[in-house]
Structure 1
C-alpha cells in the first residue's frame, strides 16, 4: 500500500479542536495497516515533515507517486487541492458546507452518513466512502453512583441552553458546567445522570455542519441519558425517544419537566451494543483496510487513464435543463 501523509496545519494547542483529535486518532488506526505520518503546512514543527519541503525537492517529489496525501482541514482545502492536483490526494471530510467543489480525481472519505450524502450529490463522479470516527474503548458504563444530575459543556452550546435552560435547572438540581478541556471526560460521563448538548445554533453561525458529534455518543456509551440537538452528523445515530431526547423541545418549561423527570426516574435509554460496535476501533480498522485497498487500485488506474465522465458543472446542468424544456415544448406543440 502507498504511504499516507496526513496534512494538518499544525498539531499544537494553537490548532486544538475536535477535528484535530479525530484526525490524529485516524492516523494511529491507519498506522496499523500501512505507513502513515503527519505533514504540517501552516506551522513548521521539528518532529513532522513540512509540506513545502516535500513539494520543492525534485527527488522527493518524484517519490510521491507512492504516497497518498490526506486533506482534512475544510477551510484549507481550496488552497491545498490545486497544489497537489498532480499527486495522489484524498479528502477526509468531517463537516460539510464549505462551498468548494472537488474534481472526480479526488476520492472522499466521510465521517458520517450525513456528510456522505452531501458529497454524493456535490461530487457524484468521485469515489466516496464512509468511515466513522472512533469511540475509544475507555468510554464504557462503569455502573457506579452518579452524583451529578446534569452535565453540560459550554463550548458549542446555544444561548438558550446556557442563559435560559441551565439557570432554570440549577434551581432544582445539581448542574455541572465544563468550561475547559477535560482529560478524563469518561469519568465525568460516568458521574452524570443527564448530559445536555445543543450545537445547532453554533454550526448555523459557523456556516458549516456538525461533522460527527462525538460527545453525545461518548456520553451514551457511558450510560448517560442524553438530551441533544439532532442536526447534521448527529442524525447518524441519535434516535429521539429511543436512545436519547431532543433538546430545545418547544418550550423551556417542557425541557425542564422532561429533564427533571429523567433525573428522578431514569428511563435507561442507551445505544444498542450493535450500534456502538460500528464506532469501535476493530470495525473501523476493518473498514479502513478495505477503503485503502480500493484507493490504491484507483490511483494505479489513474496513472494510466484520464477521467471522462462529464462533471455536473453549471453550464452542463443548464444545457440539460434547456434540453428538457425543449423536449416538453416539442411534445406539447407536437413539433
Structure 2
C-alpha cells in the first residue's frame, strides 16, 4: 500500500468547516488501513507537513496525493501531474475537468453520477462520508420542537418560516458553533435544513448533506431540501419531508401537524449502516487496493482512450447527422 497524503489548505481558522471535518474523518479511517498523513498547502502549521516540503522528498511514486478542496483542484492537479493523485470529490459543479490519470472517489452517488458523465474514462469509486457512532437516539426528553441551524439556511427559512413558527412552537435558531451537536439533535423533535439556495449561490452542489442524516440518526423528524447529495438518502413521504414546498402556510401546516402527534424517526439502524465506520473500512480497503494496482499500471502504460473533448463531441455529432442523411438517401 502506498502512503496517502491528504492535502488540505489548512486545518484551522478560515478553513474550519464541515467539508474539512469530513476529510479529516476520512484521513483517520485511512490510517486504519495504511500510512496516511495530512499535508497543508496554503498555510504552514505546527506539527503538520507542508506540500512544498513534501515535494522535495525522494521516491514519491510510493505515495498518493489525495486532493479534495474543490476551489483549489484546478491548480493542484496540474502541479501534481507527475505524481499519483486521487481526487476525493465532495461537491460537484466547479467547472474543471480531470485527466483519466486521476481516479475519483466520490462521497455521494449524486457526485458519482456527475463524474461518471464528465470523466467517463477515469476510475471512479463511491465512498460515503462517515456518521460517527455518537449520532444515535438517546431516548431523552425533547425540549425543542423545531431546530434550525442558521448556517447554509435559505433566506425564506430565516426571514419567513422561522418568524411565523416562533409564536406557535418552541423553536431554536442556532447561529453559533455547537460543540456537542449530537446532544442538540437529541433535544429536538424536528430538524429543518434548507441548503438549496446556499449552494446555488456557490454554484456548486451539496456534496453529501451530513447534518440531516446525523439528526435523523438521533431521532429527529427531518424537513429538508433535496439538492445534490441529499437526494442519495432522503425520501420524502417515507423518511423525511420536503421543505419550502409551494407556500409558507403549507410548510407550517405540515410541521405543526407533525408536532401534534410527534414520534421519533423510526429509521432502523440498518439504514445508517452504509455510513458507519465498520462498513466504510472494508469498502475503503477495496478502493485503495485497486488504486495501488492502477498506479502500478500507470507507471508503464499511457492512457489510450480518446477523451470526450468538445472537438470530439462535435465530430461525433457531425458523423451521426451524416449517417442519418446517408440512410435517408439510401
TM-score range (shorter-chain normalised) is: over 0.9
Q: Is the 8 A contact 1:152 1:195 kept in 2?
A: yes
Aligned mate of 1:91, from 66, 77, 87: 87
Distance in 1 separating the partners of 2:268 and 2:323: 51
Name 2:160's counterpart in structure 1. Answer: 164
Q: Residue 244 of structure 1 contacts residue 270 of structure 1 at CA under 8 Å; is this kept in 2?
A: no
1:332 to partner: Cα distance: 1.1
Aligned mates of 2:262, 2:89 — CA distance in 1:
36
The aligned residue for residue 40 of structure 1 is 40
Please list every run of 5 or more consecutive structure 1 residues that lacks an aligned counterpart in the other structure. none
Please give the alpha-carbon distance, in whole angstroms, between the structure 2 residues aligned to 1:44 and 1:190. 38
Query: Which deviates more, 286-295 or 271-280?
Result: 271-280
- Report the 3-state secondary structure (helix = DSSP H, G, I; strand = E; otherwise coil) of the residue aligned with 2:275: coil
Does 1:277 find its partner at 2:273?
A: yes
User: What is the rounded CA distance, in whole Å, between the counterparts of 1:290 and 1:104 in structure 2?
Assistant: 20
Q: Say whether 1:301 aligns with 2:297.
A: yes
Deviation at 1:270, TM superposition (A): 3.8
Distance 2:140 2:263 in 1: 17
Kept in 2: contact 1:106–1:126 (CA 8 A): yes
- What's the offset of the Cα at 1:267? 5.0
Please name the residue that 1:53 is paired with: 53
1:71 corresponds to: 67
Post-superposition CA distance 1:218-241 (Å, at most 9, x none): 000000011000111000000001
- Give, in angstroms, the shift of residue 268 of structure 1: 4.2
- Taking structure 2 as the reference length, the TM-score comes to 0.99
RMSD: 0.9
Structure 1 residue 63, shift from structure 2 partner: 1.4
Cα displacement string for residues 273-293 of structure 1 (whole angstroms, at most 9, x for unaligned residues)? 222000001111111011000
TM-aligned CA deviation for residue 46 of structure 1: 2.3
Between the two proteins, the alignment pairs up a number of residues equal to: 330
Runs of 5+ in structure 2 lacking a partner? none
Secondary structure at the residue paired with 2:34?
Answer: coil
Q: What pairs with 1:1-335 in structure 2 (closer than 5 Å)?
A: 1-55=1-55, 57=56, 60=57, 62-266=58-262, 268-334=264-330
Provide the secondary structure at the position in 1 that maps to 2:270: helix
Distance (whole Å) between structure 2 residues aligned to residue 262 and residue 331 of structure 1: 61
CA deviation string 1:241-286 (max 9, x = no partner): 1011100111111111111111111254443322200000111111
- C-alpha distance in structure 1 between counterparts of 2:198 and 2:255, whole Å: 22
Alignment CA distance shift 1:97-1:270 (3 Å): farther
